[in-house]
């Protein structure tokens, strides 16, 4: 992997020169003096720690010549994120589209960081070729497009943005509730064709209607507040008991929710448990003349069953922003070649079809760019895993500029008995200033700051840790 390869077989010239690799493109240098933007602490303890050291300059840790770190950003990642990464001195390659798997396999071989959105598929086959990859940034909410388990087992951290586009999605859903209730899509299409069709039959106010939210997470809870402000009654179903906002009420079963709501909206992750969560049986349980909205994942709705329910008049309308198969780029691709039912879906009345734009606002994409890029910088430069979706969340108090001749050791390893004893036998000969470790499933993550070291000590630490049978990846930040 990236920093593993960078430090294997290294030649140590002198303590002041830091580490240098035999690979000229991955020379390792001592930390530069210019600090980089730091993220707010995510936990109370970290916040108080930072508060007590506010007057002390943080020491940036970079175990490499930053211009030799290669980053590949796909799918038009926002400029804010690109700027943050470029400001670090990294080599940033940027593409507006996703890549087919065969081309992605070729492009990923030499990159250390990859940033994607929802269309790029980082399968085990792709990741197997990523010999230098240490971290993946998903500039979106979902991570189902990444084989996160394979990544974790090979020491590759995965970060996403679970909050930043929640408001944008919630506002889209509110807009679709109103548009469906007033049949705005059909009236607009008719008038574009020159047909004046002023009708009120089947058009409703949303005030006094009941909204059913499936999945009361970041988006569902925000939507709940917006809907109540519009005069709607809100009920929600979730697999865990959650505190309701406002006057919303949690119901015990999905069937209960479907039977009492006028509008049903889905906000759940893509899991085996949510595949076709709404199908023929669920449509039969919904109120006659109700509406369905899906802005979560395309696999959640059985679309042929939805088409049948619409044609039978069971549903009065639907809005879909996600689909089981989606095009890799913009163009005339939403056809039966992609999904066999595409023409039948497009032929329905009072159905809103949008191209996965729930989080596609300037505000959301800017915030996502900042959130994910800062997480990537913290991981590459400091080893901080706070916010990682597939790794234990581990962090250490930052070093100060006064703490010279320190090294931060990161040891990602298989979570098996006896590892800490062997690691501490190696570290025990040195002055360990601070150390922390945590595990998540089969993977464990250890961080330690060691003082009074020189280049030969760092090389020895690295090589001895690399020799352990439990090793997944070893990094040294100096």
Q: Catalytic residue positions?
A: 297, 326, 356
Cα diameter, the chain:
85
Beta bridge partners of 235: 212, 249
| CA-closest candidate to residue 435, choices 407, 456, 465 | 407
Between the CA of residue 413 and those of 145, 304, 385, 440, what are the distances in Å? 24, 46, 15, 11
DSSP type of residue 408 = E
| Sign of the CA dihedral running 15, 17, 22, 26 | positive
What are the start-end ranges of the H helices in 154-211? 166-181, 184-192
DSSP type of residue 206 = S
Compute how many other C-beta atoms are within 10 angstroms of the C-beta atom of residue 64.
Answer: 27
Query: Which residues have C-beta within 8 Å of that of residue 157, sequence separation ≥ 6?
Result: 134, 135, 136, 151, 379, 385, 388, 390, 391
Checking phi first, is residue 329 left (phi over 0); if not, alpha (psi -120 to 50) or beta?
Answer: beta
DSSP type of residue 243 = P
Chain-centre distance for alpha carbon 129: 22
Pairwise CA distance, residues 144 & 121, whole Å: 9
Pairwise CA distance, residues 381 & 378, whole Å: 5
Buried b / exposed e along 442-477 (16+ C-beta atoms within 10 A): ebbbbbbbbeebebebbbebbebbeeeebbbbbbbb
Measured at the CA of 13, the angle between CA 71 and CA 463, to 5 degrees, comes to 70
Looking at the chain, the number of H-run helices and the number of E-run strands are 16, 16
């Amino acid at each position: 992997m990236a920093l593993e390869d960078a430090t294997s077989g290294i030649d140590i010239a002198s303590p002041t020169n830091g580490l240098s690799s035999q690979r000229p493109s991955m020379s390792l240098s001592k930390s530069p003096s210019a600090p980089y933007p730091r993220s707010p602490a995510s936990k109370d303890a970290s916040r108080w720690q930072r508060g007590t050291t506010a007057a002390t300059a943080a020491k940036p840790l970079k175990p490499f010549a930053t211009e030799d770190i290669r980053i590949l950003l796909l799918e038009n990642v926002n400029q804010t994120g690109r700027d943050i990464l470029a400001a670090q001195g990294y080599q940033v390659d940027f593409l507006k589209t996703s890549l087919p798997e065969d081309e992605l396999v070729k492009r990923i071989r030499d990159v250390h960081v990859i940033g994607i959105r929802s269309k790029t598929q980082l399968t085990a086959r792709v990741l197997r070729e990523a010999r230098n990859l240490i971290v993946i940034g998903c500039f979106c909410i979902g991570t189902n497009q990444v084989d996160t388990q394979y990544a974790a087992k090979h020491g590759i951290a995965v970060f996403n943005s679970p909050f930043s586009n929640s408001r944008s999605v919630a506002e889209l859903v509110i807009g679709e509730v109103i548009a469906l209730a007033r049949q705005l899509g059909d009236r607009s299409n008719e008038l574009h064709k020159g047909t004046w069709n002023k009708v009120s039959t089947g058009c409703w106010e949303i005030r006094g209607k009941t909204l059913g939210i499936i999945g009361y997470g970041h988006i569902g809870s925000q939507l709940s507040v917006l809907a109540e402000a519009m005069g709607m009654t809100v009920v929600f179903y979730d697999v865990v008991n959650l505190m309701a906002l406002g006057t919303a009420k949690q119901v015990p079963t999905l069937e209960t929710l479907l039977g009492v709501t006028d509008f049903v909206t889905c906000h759940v992750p893509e899991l085996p448990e949510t595949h076709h969560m709404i199908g023929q049986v669920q449509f039969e349980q919904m109120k006659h003349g109700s509406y369905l909205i899906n802005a979560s994942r395309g696999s959640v709705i059985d679309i042929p069953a939805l088409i049948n329910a619409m044609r039978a008049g069971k549903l009065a309308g639907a809005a879909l922003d996600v689909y089981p198969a989606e095009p890799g780029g913009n163009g005339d691709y939403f056809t039966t070649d992609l999904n066999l039912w595409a023409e039948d879906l497009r032929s329905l009345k009072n159905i809103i079809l949008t191209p996965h734009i729930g989080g596609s606002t300037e505000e959301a994409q800017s915030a996502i760019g900042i959130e994910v890029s800062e997480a990537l910088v913290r991981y590459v430069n400091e080893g901080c895993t706070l916010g990682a979706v597939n790794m234990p969340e581990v962090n250490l108090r930052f070093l100060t500029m006064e703490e010279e001749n320190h090294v931060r050791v990161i040891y990602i390893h298989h979570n098996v008995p006896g590892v800490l004893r062997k690691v501490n036998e190696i570290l025990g000969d040195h002055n360990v200033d601070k150390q922390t470790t945590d595990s998540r499933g089969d993977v464990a993550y250890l961080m330690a700051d060691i003082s009074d070291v020189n280049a030969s000590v760092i090389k020895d630490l690295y090589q001895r840790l690399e020799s352990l049978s439990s090793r997944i990846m070893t990094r040294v930040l100096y």
